[in-house]
């Protein structure tokens, strides 16, 4: 019927080939989005140039992209840990919120502590709160085999509403003219900027944590066990790997990393807690993790790319009044095309042989 | 509380449960064929927009309702292409569908925000609506609610008594055996995906054409995800889906009443209720998992090269 058919590759696709497939997927997604701009009555060439210029075209734009890449990177590093074990943690968004809440709690309770004491305490509480938000679905899954996808997702909604409850209620700044936000953090509770740039020291946290995760998966026994169990649960169990304990571990690690991102967003970016920090970084993180095939270094690149797209879309909104939802369309398309492109890792098209 | 308030609350329960019922039935239909579609939330909101726009342009809500179903099918076809042709991971593809669907609906719907469309008006069923208590609760709604009463038995009949239904279930239970028996598993899975998407679209349209007659960007508010959870609660049985959907309808109706009555509880805590209940319901159903009709090959793709 078809002149082409799908055949299995002898060897999985190499690095160059994979890169080409992912690159093509990105180009295809951008082309499809440009088409949509056209149907929306916007010039696609002008739109796309504004998008790319706004993302990477100037020093200011690049700095903004890196700034947004910081929370996305940490959340993505987190979900990638869980995805390695094929545990579907969709809850980075909520774990991020809990991290911001935990950090804020410390910052508001002990504003006069010295910086070298206060910041680590905030990070610790952010990781504990984010980790707790990951622990609950992990325990439910381990004990009762409850589906972690839906539980983590529901806990996102709950976390965002909890954040709302706090900033509209008990933590509300009395001098904010009714705006839902906490008072500004004390100077000791704020992570500063690097030199004269607008980028904060969170970037250094990212490098440190990214390296740590790379070492963890490359050189530690537990890291290896997670990878092995992710590839084949039954074989791993047979080999005596404590799978159930790994589920708990990856979910807590995952949550703690997203929590750290929440800490940075509250402390470094907005210097307080407010609902506007919840812009869906936790979901973008999933796109990034998948785009990067879960490798820490690639996650860094993909995070900057997707953060850049977010900044570009903001520009598009300002200049051409394109709705902000356009960003979601691009992200969805990227995820779908990259996923479809995954077929070529193990399969290829071949011409039908004549018999 | 007096009787009238209880009856009004139960009637509101049926109404707010209906969109969830449509979506849950759609997801059951899809999952029975062995395909997990986590994109319900995105497909629902696209259906809501399509129904709204068509009803607004043509002035005919019935046409809008069907258009929503068709758009639901078209949207889920993307999931079909990724999972059935390209063997992409079903979990991730579903998530991508939610991101894409929500983005598309908000992008295309921007110009309609705050506008209204002709929707469905309540229609009291003769005779039945006069029954005390039962009548006001079940038979004084818009026609779409009556449509939703018919689907669970129809779907049960389809699965239990027809060749196609059996084939669809076989594709979800044991695709290799189904293929060996000469069934086209891929075609059955396409049927499951596209058919399920139709119902999800209808669920979305219920929100924009009957529940409200308005378009807002956050119309679905997690109902699609609740539907995914309810499939597990319903043990993949259409009949049990009714109880689940009305349970959530009830909590949502109650939440609105409480908010309107000026309670001391902050609204963010009230809004949490359905999500907390979803987790609770999931935990409850995982206790009795053995009695469920979960398809054995749910989420497992068939290899592309056969």
pLDDT digits (tens, 9 = 90+) for A124-167: 999 999 999 999 999 999 988 888 999 999 999 999 999 999 99
Tokens (6 digits) for B271: 């809004």
What angle, 0 to 180 degrees and rounded to 10, lies between the N-to-C axes of helices A115-144 and B267-287? 40
Does A290 sit within 8 Å of B275, measured CB to CB?
no
Tokens (6 digits) for A286: 């999933």
Chain A residues near residue B100 by CB distance under 8 angstroms: 328-329, 331-333, 335-336
Torsion-angle region of B127 (φ positive above 0: left; ψ -120 to 50: alpha; else: beta): left
Cβ neighbours of residue A27 closer than 8 Å, sequence gap 6 or more: none
pLDDT of residue A351: 67
| Residue for token pair 């598309």 | B104
Instruction: Determine, yes or no, domain membership for B48.
Output: yes
Chain A residues near residue B98 by CB distance under 8 angstroms: 332
Cβ neighbours of residue A120 closer than 8 Å, sequence gap 6 or more: none
Return d(Cα A350, Cα A297) in angstroms, integer: 33
Chain B residues near residue A140 by CB distance under 8 angstroms: 279, 282-283, 286
By the 8 A CB rule, do A282 and A93 touch?
yes
- Measured on CA atoms in the order B127, B132, B136, B137, is the torsion positive or negative? negative
Instruction: Determine, yes or no, domain membership for B8.
Output: no
pLDDT digits (tens, 9 = 90+) for B189-219: 999 999 999 999 999 999 999 888 888 888 8
pLDDT of residue A1: 47
Instruction: Report A:254-273 residues touching B (Cβ under 8 A).
Output: none
| Residue for token pair 């991020």 | A96
Confidence of residue B71 (pLDDT cuts 50, 70, 90): very high
Dihedral of the alpha carbons of A41, A45, A48, A53, in degrees to the nearest 10: -130
Strand partners, A6: A349
In residues, how long is chain B? 306
By the 8 A CB rule, do A104 and A182 touch?
yes
Q: What interface predicted TM-score (ipTM) does this complex get?
A: 0.91
What phi, psi does A279 have (nearest 5°)?
Answer: -115, 15
Could you state, in chain order, the average pLDDT of each consecutive group of 10 residues for chain A (355 residues)?
68 81 91 89 87 87 92 96 93 96 94 91 96 96 90 95 91 82 88 85 93 93 90 86 92 97 94 92 94 91 94 90 90 93 80 56
pLDDT digits (tens, 9 = 90+) for A221-239: 999 999 889 888 888 888 8
pLDDT digits (tens, 9 = 90+) for A192-205: 888 888 888 989 99
Q: Is A164 helix (H, G, I), strand (E, B) or coil?
A: helix
Q: Is A231 helix (H, G, I), strand (E, B) or coil?
A: helix
Instruction: Determine, yes or no, domain membership for B203.
Output: yes
Return d(Cα B200, Cα B74) in angstroms, integer: 11
**Structural domain spans, chain A:** 73-307
Instruction: Determine, yes or no, domain membership for B278.
Output: no
- Measured on CA atoms in the order A296, A301, A302, A304, is the torsion positive or negative? positive
Instruction: Determine, yes or no, domain membership for B186.
Output: yes
Tokens (6 digits) for B237: 């049985």
Return d(Cα B193, Cα B31) in angstroms, integer: 8
Strand partners, A8: A347
Selected for mutation to probe chain A from B42, B109, B186, B275 (highest A CB count within 10 Å) is: B275
Confidence of residue B223 (pLDDT cuts 50, 70, 90): very high
In chain B, the number of structural domains is 1
Return d(Cα A84, Cα B173) in angstroms, integer: 27
Return d(Cα A180, Cα B266) in angstroms, integer: 14
Instruction: Determine, yes or no, domain membership for B235.
Output: no
pLDDT of residue A4: 65
Instruction: Report A:21-80 residues touching B (Cβ under 8 A).
Output: 36, 40
Tokens (6 digits) for B170: 């076989």
Tokens (6 digits) for A168: 């509209």
Instruction: Determine, yes or no, domain membership for B134.
Output: yes
Does B93 sit within 8 Å of A342, measured CB to CB?
no
Expressed as residue numbers, the domain containing B101 is 17-220
């Amino acid at each position: 019927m078809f002149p082409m058919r799908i055949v299995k590759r002898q060897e999985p696709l190499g690095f160059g080939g994979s890169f080409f497939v992912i690159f093509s997927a990105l180009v295809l997604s951008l082309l499809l989005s440009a088409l949509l701009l056209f149907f929306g009555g916007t010039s696609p060439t002008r739109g796309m140039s504004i998008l790319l210029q706004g993302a990477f075209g100037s020093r200011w734009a690049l700095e903004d992209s890196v700034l947004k890449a910081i929370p996305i990177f940490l959340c993505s590093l987190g979900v990638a840990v869980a995805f390695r074990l094929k545990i579907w943690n969709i809850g980075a968004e909520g774990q991020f919120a809990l991290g911001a809440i935990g950090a804020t709690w410390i910052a508001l309770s002990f504003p006069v502590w010295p910086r070298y004491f206060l910041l680590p305490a905030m990070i610790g509480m952010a990781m504990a709160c984010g980790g707790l938000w990951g622990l609950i679905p992990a325990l439910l899954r381990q004990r009762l085999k409850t589906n972690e996808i839906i539980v983590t997702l529901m806990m996102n909604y709950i976390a965002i509403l909890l954040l709302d409850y706090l900033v509209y209620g008990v933590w509300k700044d009395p001098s904010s003219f009714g705006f839902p936000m906490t008072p500004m953090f004390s100077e000791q509770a704020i992570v500063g900027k690097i030199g004269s740039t607008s980028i904060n020291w969170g970037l250094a946290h990212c490098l440190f944590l990214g390296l740590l995760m790379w070492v963890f998966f490359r050189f530690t026994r537990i890291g290896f066990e997670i990878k092995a169990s992710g590839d084949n649960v039954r074989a791993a169990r047979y080999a005596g790997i404590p799978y159930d304990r790994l589920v708990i571990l990856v979910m807590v690690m995952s949550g703690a990393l997203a929590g750290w991102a929440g800490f940075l967003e509250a402390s470094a970016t907005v210097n307080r807690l407010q609902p506007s920090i919840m812009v869906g970084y936790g979901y973008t993180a999933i796109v990034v993790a998948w785009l990067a095939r879960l490798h820490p270094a690639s996650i860094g690149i993909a995070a900057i790319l997707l953060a850049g797209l977010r900044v570009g879309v903001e520009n598009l909104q300002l200049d051409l009044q394109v709705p902000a939802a356009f960003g979601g369309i691009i992200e969805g398309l990227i995820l779908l095309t990259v996923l479809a492109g995954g077929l070529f890792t193990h399969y290829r098209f071949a011409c039908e042989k004549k018999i | 509380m007096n009787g009238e308030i209880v009856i009004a609350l139960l009637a509101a329960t049926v109404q707010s449960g209906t969109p969830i019922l449509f979506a849950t039935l759609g997801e059951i239909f899809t999952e029975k064929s062995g395909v997990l579609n986590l994109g319900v939330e995105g497909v629902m909101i696209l259906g809501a927009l399509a129904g709204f726009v068509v009803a607004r342009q043509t002035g005919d809500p019935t046409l809008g309702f069907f258009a929503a179903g068709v758009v639901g099918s078209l949207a889920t076809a993307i999931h079909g292409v990724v999972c059935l042709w390209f063997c992409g991971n079903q979990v991730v593809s579903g998530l991508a569908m939610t991101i894409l669907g929500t983005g598309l609906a908000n992008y295309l719907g921007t110009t309609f925000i705050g506008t209204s469309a002709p929707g469905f008006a309540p229609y009291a069923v003769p005779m039945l609506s006069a029954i005390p208590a039962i009548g006001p609760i079940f038979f004084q709604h818009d026609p779409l609610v009556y449509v939703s009463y018919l689907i669970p038995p129809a779907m049960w009949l389809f699965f239990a008594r027809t060749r196609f239904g059996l084939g669809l279930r076989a594709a979800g239970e044991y695709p290799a055996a189904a293929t060996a028996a000469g069934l086209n598993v891929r075609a059955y899975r396409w049927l499951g995906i596209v058919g399920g998407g139709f119902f999800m679209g209808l669920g979305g349209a219920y929100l924009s054409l009957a529940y409200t007659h308005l378009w807002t960007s956050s119309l679905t508010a997690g109902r699609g995800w609740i539907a995914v959870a309810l499939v597990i609660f319903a043990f993949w049985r259409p009949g049990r889906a009714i109880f689940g959907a009305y349970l959530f309808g009830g909590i949502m109706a109650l939440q609105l009443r409480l908010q309107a009555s000026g309670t001391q509880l902050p609204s963010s805590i009230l809004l949490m209720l359905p999500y907390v209940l979803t987790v609770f319901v999931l935990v409850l159903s995982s206790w009795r998992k053995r009695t469920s009709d979960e398809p054995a090959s749910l989420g497992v793709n068939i290899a592309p090269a056969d």
